[in-house]
């Protein structure tokens, strides 16, 4: 009988007299519990990180009373939320009202099923992994719609409408940016996408796509500068106005988790996931370590943006998406697809045998980078011109107003 370990639980259980089907079920259940509880535990710590980070930026100390460095602040908050009175407003659809916050967390949690932590540790390596994560993430939109509708409150409904319009809009550039790694890897499996980056990380081959993915996933979390759903001055907290206690907390737990999940997805799709030196030797330690080191970079960048960039107006938000991000992401996808073809036709692309070799990947990467630089140069130039026109127009309006005032004074 062989030694029982995390990799052969099923066989082990069968050997010790379990029914094979039952053993399989227990294995699956154990895997699910491990993968699903991980983000839920981490989020408790993340909320602390986020509050400390925001505090430092705003020249405050942040939570520092409960536990060492205020680490237990979130636990205290959770206990407080559970002990709070939970109000279901009159006229609310009770079933939907209670299901909505659960769905908001669920949609983020489900993404973790396909995140590869190491070469051998992944919840489940679906053939359609990338599409799976877009699909389950779109459930969040539905959760917000349900929350806004079931509260039986005009502000909630209006807030939900706005957020849903924002979320569905930013899903378009997100998916087009996501198509680029799929194109490179010729696969939708998350594990394949990571393996395909062993020669060169996709971010160096398609930085524009990476940034589009990052920006639109920032919008998908509803974080600043895209936090219109929290625009207290305009729509009184938005879709979750009627929620209180733990249900209110769950929406935010989902949001905090989503930010980390976005960092992890950035790492997996564009920064080689668990890839790193010596990872094959100690996959269970180094794999997650590399993955979360890379994720942390994007996570912290996201926090930095959240705490330093002012909120945009809703018309700016929509214009930025439909007139800038969407066309840019589509053109970017086409350019990369064509350049990749060209590289193959001209023989610049690395052969299948040395696809994992860093040096063999350099020529192709350079060509793709050049294409990206061209797109970026055009876009930046275009943005500068549009910005100048807008400033001039505004300056003109101000001048006209001043002139009018002067005329009235005379």
Partner 1 sequence: MVELNAHTVVFAIFSIITLGGAVGVVWNRNLVSSSYWLIFSLFGVAGLFVLLSAPFLAAVQVLVYIGAVGILITFSVMLTRGMTQIKDVFNRQSAASGVVAVLLFVVLLVGVVLPVWGPSGALSSAPASDVVATTAELGVALVDGSQYVLPFELVSLLLTAALLGAIVIARDQDK
Partner 2 sequence: MNVLNEWAFVGVFFALSWALPALPIVAAVFFSPKKANAIKLQTYECGVETVGDTWVQFKVQYYLYGLVFLVFDVEMIFLFPWAMAYERLDTFQFFAGIVFIILLLDVLVYAVKKNVLEWS
Binding segment for partner 2 (CB under 8 A), chosen from 106-114, 204-212, 296-304, 358-366, is 106-114
Burial (Cβ within 10 Å: 0-12, 13-18, ≥19) of residue 238? buried
Least Å distance, CB 195 to partner 2, is: 14
Least Å distance, CB 144 to partner 1, is: 10
From candidates 14, 28, 72, 369, binder to partner 2 by CB under 8 A: 28
From candidates 42, 66, 110, 120, binder to partner 2 by CB under 8 A: 110
C-beta contacts of 368-371 below 8 A and 24+ residues apart? 368/205, 368/206, 368/336, 368/339, 368/340, 368/343, 369/204, 369/205, 369/207, 371/335, 371/336, 371/339
Produce one character per residue of 30-62: b if its CB has 16 or more CB atoms within 10 Å, e if not: ebeeebeebbeeebbebbbbbbbbebeeeeeeb
Ranges within 16-55 binding partner 1 (CB under 8 A): 21
Burial (Cβ within 10 Å: 0-12, 13-18, ≥19) of residue 110? middle
Least Å distance, CB 172 to partner 1, is: 11
Binding segment for partner 1 (CB under 8 A), chosen from 156-164, 269-277, 317-325, 354-362, is 156-164
Q: Is 260 in the site for partner 2 (CB under 8 A)?
A: no
From candidates 23, 109, 115, 146, binder to partner 1 by CB under 8 A: 146
Ranges within 298-317 binding partner 2 (CB under 8 A): 314-315
Q: How far is CA 319 from the centre of its chain?
A: 21
Binding segment for partner 2 (CB under 8 A), chosen from 53-61, 214-222, 244-252, 295-303, is 244-252
From candidates 10, 78, 93, 125, binder to partner 1 by CB under 8 A: 93
Least Å distance, CB 136 to partner 2, is: 9
Q: How many CA atoms lie within 13 A of 354 on its CB side?
A: 10
Calpha distance 43→19 (Å, rounded): 37
Phi-psi category of residue 238: left, alpha or beta, with phi > 0 → left and psi -120 to 50 → alpha: left
Closest of 116, 335, 131, 316 to residue 219, by C-alpha = 316
Calpha distance 392→49 (Å, rounded): 42
Indicate the residue among 73 and 150 with the shorter CB distance to partner 1: 150
Q: What is the SS3 string spanning 268-290?
A: HHHCCCCCCCCCCCCHHHHHHHH
Indicate the residue among 155 and 161 with the shorter CB distance to partner 1: 161
Indicate the residue among 229 and 286 with the shorter CB distance to partner 1: 229
From candidates 135, 373, 380, 393, binder to partner 1 by CB under 8 A: 135
On whether the CB atoms of residues 64 and 278 are closer than 8 A, the answer is no
* Neighbouring-strand partners of residue 116: 122
Residue 246 contact partner, candidates partner 1, partner 2, none, CB within 5 to 8 A by sort of partner? partner 2
Least Å distance, CB 92 to partner 2, is: 9
Indicate the residue among 219 and 253 with the shorter CB distance to partner 2: 253
From candidates 242, 271, 303, 325, binder to partner 2 by CB under 8 A: 242
Q: Is 220 in the site for partner 1 (CB under 8 A)?
A: no
Cis preceding-peptide flag for 225 (omega within 30 of 0): yes
Residues that bind partner 1 (CB under 8 A): 21, 93, 96, 126-128, 131-132, 134-136, 138-139, 141-142, 145-146, 149, 157, 161, 164, 168, 171, 186-188
């Amino acid at each position: 009988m062989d030694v029982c370990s995390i990799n052969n639980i099923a066989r082990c259980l069968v050997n010790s007299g379990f029914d094979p089907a039952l053993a399989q079920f227990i294995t699956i259940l154990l895997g699910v519990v491990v993968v699903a509880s991980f983000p839920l535990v981490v989020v408790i710590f993340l909320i602390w990180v986020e509050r400390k980070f925001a505090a430092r930026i705003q020249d405050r100390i942040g939570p520092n009373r409960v536990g060492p460095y205020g680490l237990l602040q979130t636990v205290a908050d959770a206990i407080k939320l559970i002990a709070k009175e939970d109000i279901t407003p009159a006229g609310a659809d009770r079933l939907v009202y209670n299901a909505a916050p659960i769905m908001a967390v669920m949609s983020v949690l489900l993404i973790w099923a396909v995140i590869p932590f190491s070469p051998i540790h992944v919840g489940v390596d679906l053939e359609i992994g990338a599409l799976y994560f877009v699909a389950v993430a779109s459930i969040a939109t539905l959760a917000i719609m349900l929350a806004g509708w079931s509260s039986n409150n005009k502000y909630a409904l209006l807030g939900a409408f706005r957020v849903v319009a924002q979320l569905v809009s930013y899903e378009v550039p997100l998916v087009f940016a996501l198509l680029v790694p799929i194109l490179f890897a010729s696969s939708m499996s998350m594990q394949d996408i990571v393996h395909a980056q062993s020669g060169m990380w996709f971010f160096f081959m398609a930085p524009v796509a990476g940034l589009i993915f990052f920006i639109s996933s920032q919008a998908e979390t509803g974080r600043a500068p895209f936090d219109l759903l929290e625009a207290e001055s305009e729509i009184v907290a938005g879709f979750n106005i009627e929620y209180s206690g733990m249900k209110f907390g769950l929406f935010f737990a989902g949001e905090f988790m989503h930010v980390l999940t976005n960092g992890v997805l950035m790492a997996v799709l564009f920064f080689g996931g668990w890839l790193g030196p010596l990872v094959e030797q100690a996959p269970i330690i180094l794999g997650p370590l590399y993955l979360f080191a890379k994720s942390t970079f994007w996570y912290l960048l996201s926090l930095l943006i959240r705490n330093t960039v002012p909120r945009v107006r809703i018309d700016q938000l929509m214009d930025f998406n439909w007139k800038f991000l969407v066309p840019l992401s589509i053109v970017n996808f086409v350019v990369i697809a064509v350049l990749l073809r060209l590289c193959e036709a001209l023989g610049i692309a690395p052969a299948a045998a040395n696809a994992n070799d860093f040096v063999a990947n350099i020529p192709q990467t350079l060509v793709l980078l050049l294409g990206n630089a061209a797109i970026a140069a055009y876009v930046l130039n275009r943005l500068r011109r549009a910005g100048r026109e807008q400033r001039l127009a505004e300056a003109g309006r101000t001048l006209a107003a001043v002139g009018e005032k002067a005329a009235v004074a005379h």
